[in-house]
Chains A and B, each alone.
Chain A
Amino acid sequence: MTPKIETKNLQLYYGAHHALKGIDFSANANTVTALIGPSGCGKSTFLRCFNRMNDLIDGCDVEGQILIDGMNINDRYLNVDELRKKVGMVFQKPNPFPKSIFENVAYGLRINGINEKKILEEKVEKALKQAALWEEVKDNLKKSAMSISGGQQQRLCIARALAVEPSLVLMDEPTSALDPISTSKVEELIYQLKEKYTILIVTHNMQQAARVSDKTAFFYIGEMIEYNDTTEIFTNPKIERTQNYITGRFG
C-alpha cells in the first residue's frame, strides 16, 4: 500500500536559516498523525509544506520531494490553488470570515464555481454535520460567524475546510485557543473524521497527541527525532530526547 503522504529528504530554508533538515516521513490514508516538539522545532513549517503555504513567506526555499498520493507537489509548475482545494487546513486561532455562517462554509464551494443554491445548501449542511456543528447553528445560518463562541468558530473553520471535500486535512494547533470543553469536542471530531480523511495535527498538548493520534512524530530543531506509533512513543520512546520532552523535562 502506497502511503497517502510522504516526504523524501525534505529540506527547508528561511533565507540562511535551515529550518527542516532532511525529513523522511510517510503516513497512510485514514490515520491521524500528531506532530509534537518544542516551539520553533519546525513542526508547523513541516505541516505547511503539504499545502505549500510556505510559498507566502519571502525567501523560503523548499528542496526534496513531497508526495501526496504518489505525486510530487514540490514542483514549481504545480497549480497551487488546485492543490489547496484538495488539502484542507485548520489554523491555530479560529479565523472565520466576517460573513454569515452559511457563507463561511460555502466560500470554498463558491471558489470552485459552485453557485447553485440547492447544491450549496446540501454541501454546507453535510460539512456542518461532519464538524458536529449543525445542531447548534442550523436555525441561525444567516447569523454572522463572528457572533458564535470561539469553540463553535473553530468547528466552523473545520466545516469550511471539509466542505470542499479534501482528502488530507492539516491542523495547526487547532485547540490552543479553546477552552477544555470546546477542546474535547474538537478532539472527538478529529477521531471521527479519521474514517474519511487523513489528518496531520500539530499540537503542544501531549495528552491531546496521545488521545487523538495513531502515530506521533517528534521534532527537534528542524529534525524528526522519532516517528512511531503513538502508544510506542508515549510508553516506550526509543530516544532519550523524546522521553525527556514527553515527560516534561525540557521544552
Chain B
Amino acid sequence: MFKKIINKIIEGFIKTSGWVSSIIVLLIIIFLFKEASGLFNKTPLEEGYMLVVNKKNPIDKLNPDQLKNIFDRDSTSWKTLGGMNADIEIFTVEDISTFYNDSMIGENMSNLPWCINDHISKTENVISYFPEKYLPKNFEGKILHLDKISVYQFLKNKIWLPSARPVSQVGAMPLIISTLLVSLVAILIALPIGLAAAIYLAEVADSRIRTILKPVIELLAGIPSVVYGFFGLVIIVPFVQKIFNLPVGETGLTGSIILAIMALPTIITVAEDALRSVPKAMKEASLALGATHWQTIYKVMIPYASSGITAAAILGIGRAIGETMVALMVTGNANNFTFSLLKPIRTIPATIAAELGEASYGGLHFKALFALGCILFLITLMINVYVEYLSGKKQTK
C-alpha cells in the first residue's frame, strides 16, 4: 500500500517534469515570436514624433532609406527624390530660436506649435520632425506617413542602425550574412581537422593513446566561451592582423578560427561515434579483399558513416551560429555589409547581446532585436530538424 503511493508520487513527479519543461520551451518560443511580431506593427519613425513637409510639396511618401539620406544630409535636393527643384531644408524644434525670438515662442514654449505651423507653411522646401504634442491645431502642413516595417524589408535592408533618429534603420541582412559566413567558414576549418582527428581516434590510435586523448578533447567542450574569447583576443587577433597586414585584427576570420576550435569537440565526438558504429564485418570484408587500411577507411567506412559525419558537421555549425561571447569579443562589432572575412563584422547573437541593454523596453529597437532572435531560432531549428532527419534515415538503413 505504502509502496503504491510512493510509486504514484514518483510517476506524477516524472509526468509533471516532462510537461512543465515542454511547456516552458513552448512559452519561450511564443514569447520570442510575440515580441518580435510587434516590430512589424510599427513604422520606423521614432515613437511619438511627426514627420511633415510643406503643403505644396508634391511628395507624399518617403521610404526609410530616403529619409536616412535626407537627415544625414546625403540628399540635399528634392529633385533627386522626384520632387520640386529646390534644396531640402531640415527644420527641427531645436532650430526654432533661429527663426523666432523668445517672446514669440512664449513662456514655457506655449506658442511653439504656432511657430512650427508658421514656419512650415511659409517654407516650401522644408522637412521637419517634432514631437506629436507640439502638433498645432489648424495645422497647415502635410503629414508624411511611413509604411510599417515589412518582414521582407527587415530581411532585405542592408543597414542596421535601430537607434538612428528620427528614422530607425532595421535591416537584418548584414547580420544574417555575417552570422552565416562566420559559421560556414568555421565549419570549413573545423570539419577536415575534426574528421581527421575522429579517424585517428577511431581507427589509428591505440587504445592507450585514445584513453588519454578522448577526455582531453571532450574537455575542450567544457571550457567557458569567454575564455576562448580571451584567448582569441590575445593570440588570434594579433596573429590575423599580422598575417594579413590589416588595420584591425578583429575580423570575421578571427571569429571563424575560434568558433572552429570550439566546434571541434562536437565534430570529433560525433564523427568518431559514427565511424565506430561501422560494423566490424564491413571492415573485415574490405580488408579481406586486399584493401589497405586507408582504402578501407575512405572507401567503406567514411561512406558508411557519412550520415553521422554530416550530422557532426551540422551540429558543429549549430554550435558556431549560436555562439555569442566569442563573436562579441573577437569579430570587431561593426555592422558592415560585407562578404569579406578580413573586415570587422557582427553576428546576430553578438548584436543582441551588445544592444539589448541600451534598447528601451518595448520600443522599436527592442522588438527588432527580438526579431533577430527569431531569425537565429529559425536557423538553428532548421539545423536540428535536418539532423533529426539524417539520424532517422540512418536508423532505417
Chain A residues with a Cβ under 8 A of chain B: 51, 53, 56, 58, 81-89, 91, 93, 95-99, 107-108, 110-112, 146, 157, 160-161, 164
Per-residue CB contact flags for chain B residues 381-397 toward chain A (1 = under 8 Å, else 0) read 00000000000000001
Q: How long is the Cα–Cα vector from A205 to B303 in the complex, in angstroms?
A: 36
What residue in chain A is nearest B281 (Cβ atoms)? Answer: A95
Q: How long is the Cα–Cα vector from A134 to B300 in the complex, in angstroms?
A: 24
Q: How long is the Cα–Cα vector from A89 to B299 in the complex, in angstroms?
A: 19
- Which residues of chain A are near B288, meaning CB under 8 Å? 51, 53, 84, 87-89, 91, 161
Task: Identify B285's interface contact among A85, A91, A112, CB under 8 A.
Answer: A91
B105 to chain A, nearest CB (A): 84
What residue in chain A is nearest B289 (Cβ atoms)? Answer: A108
B241 adjacent to chain A (CB < 8 Å): no
- Which residues of chain B are near A95, meaning CB under 8 Å? 279, 281-282, 284-285
Per-residue CB contact flags for chain B residues 275-288 toward chain A (1 = under 8 Å, else 0) read 00001011011111
Q: How long is the Cα–Cα vector from A144 to B287 in the complex, in angstroms?
A: 21
B18 adjacent to chain A (CB < 8 Å): no
B287, A85: Cβ atoms closer than 8 Å: no
Q: How long is the Cα–Cα vector from A81 to B295 in the complex, in angstroms?
A: 11
B292, A81: Cβ atoms closer than 8 Å: yes
B304 adjacent to chain A (CB < 8 Å): yes
B290 adjacent to chain A (CB < 8 Å): yes
Q: How long is the Cα–Cα vector from A87 to B288 in the complex, in angstroms?
A: 8
B291 adjacent to chain A (CB < 8 Å): yes
Q: How long is the Cα–Cα vector from A58 to B292 in the complex, in angstroms?
A: 18
B17 to chain A, nearest CB (A): 40
A81, B282: Cβ atoms closer than 8 Å: no
List 18 A-B pairs, Cβ < 8 Å. Answer: A51-B288, A53-B287, A53-B288, A56-B287, A81-B292, A85-B290, A86-B290, A88-B289, A89-B288, A91-B281, A97-B286, A99-B303, A110-B299, A111-B290, A146-B397, A160-B285, A160-B289, A164-B289
Q: How long is the Cα–Cα vector from A134 to B288 in the complex, in angstroms?
A: 23
A93, B285: Cβ atoms closer than 8 Å: no
- Which residues of chain A are near B397, meaning CB under 8 Å? 98, 146
A145 to chain B, nearest CB (A): 11
Q: A107-B299, A111-B295 are in contact. Are A97 and B289 (CB under 8 A)?
A: no
- Which residues of chain B are near A96, meaning CB under 8 Å? 285
Shortest 7 CB-CB contacts between residues of A and residues of B: A85-B290, A95-B281, A89-B288, A108-B289, A84-B290, A95-B285, A111-B291
A107, B286: Cβ atoms closer than 8 Å: yes
A111, B284: Cβ atoms closer than 8 Å: no
B353 to chain A, nearest CB (A): 45
B284, A91: Cβ atoms closer than 8 Å: yes
B303, A98: Cβ atoms closer than 8 Å: yes
B280 to chain A, nearest CB (A): 9
Q: How long is the Cα–Cα vector from A147 to B286 in the complex, in angstroms?
A: 20
Q: How long is the Cα–Cα vector from A56 to B280 in the complex, in angstroms?
A: 11
Task: Give chain B interface residues in 289-320, CB to chain A under 8 Å.
Answer: 289-292, 295, 299-300, 303-304
What residue in chain B is nearest A86 (Cβ atoms)? Answer: B290
- Besides A53-B284, A95-B279, A146-B397, 17 more A-B contacts (Cβ < 8 Å) are A51-B288, A53-B287, A81-B291, A84-B289, A84-B290, A88-B289, A89-B284, A89-B288, A96-B285, A107-B286, A107-B299, A110-B299, A111-B295, A112-B290, A161-B289, A164-B289, A164-B290
Q: How long is the Cα–Cα vector from A108 to B279 in the complex, in angstroms?
A: 19
What residue in chain B is nearest A97 (Cβ atoms)? Answer: B300
- Which residues of chain B are near A93, meaning CB under 8 Å? 281
Q: How long is the Cα–Cα vector from A51 to B284 in the complex, in angstroms?
A: 11
- Which residues of chain B are near A89, meaning CB under 8 Å? 284, 288
B281, A98: Cβ atoms closer than 8 Å: no
Q: A97-B300, A98-B303, A98-B304 are in contact. Are A81 and B290 (CB under 8 A)?
A: yes
- Which residues of chain B are near A164, meaning CB under 8 Å? 289-290
Q: How long is the Cα–Cα vector from A250 to B291 in the complex, in angstroms?
A: 40
Q: A95-B279, A98-B303, A107-B299 are in contact. Are A56 and B284 (CB under 8 A)?
A: yes
Q: How long is the Cα–Cα vector from A56 to B304 in the complex, in angstroms?
A: 20
Q: How long is the Cα–Cα vector from A151 to B151 in the complex, in angstroms?
A: 59
Q: How long is the Cα–Cα vector from A68 to B23 in the complex, in angstroms?
A: 70
Q: A98-B303, A98-B304, A107-B299 are in contact. Are A85 and B284 (CB under 8 A)?
A: no
What residue in chain B is nearest A98 (Cβ atoms)? Answer: B304
A107, B289: Cβ atoms closer than 8 Å: yes
What residue in chain A is nearest B279 (Cβ atoms)? Answer: A95
Q: How long is the Cα–Cα vector from A231 to B295 in the complex, in angstroms?
A: 44
What residue in chain A is nearest B295 (Cβ atoms)? Answer: A111
Q: How long is the Cα–Cα vector from A108 to B289 in the complex, in angstroms?
A: 6
A197 to chain B, nearest CB (A): 15
Q: How long is the Cα–Cα vector from A93 to B282 in the complex, in angstroms?
A: 11
B33 to chain A, nearest CB (A): 42
Q: How long is the Cα–Cα vector from A110 to B303 in the complex, in angstroms?
A: 16
Q: Looking at B207, B279, B289, B292, which has the most chain A CB atoms within 10 Å of its CB? A: B289
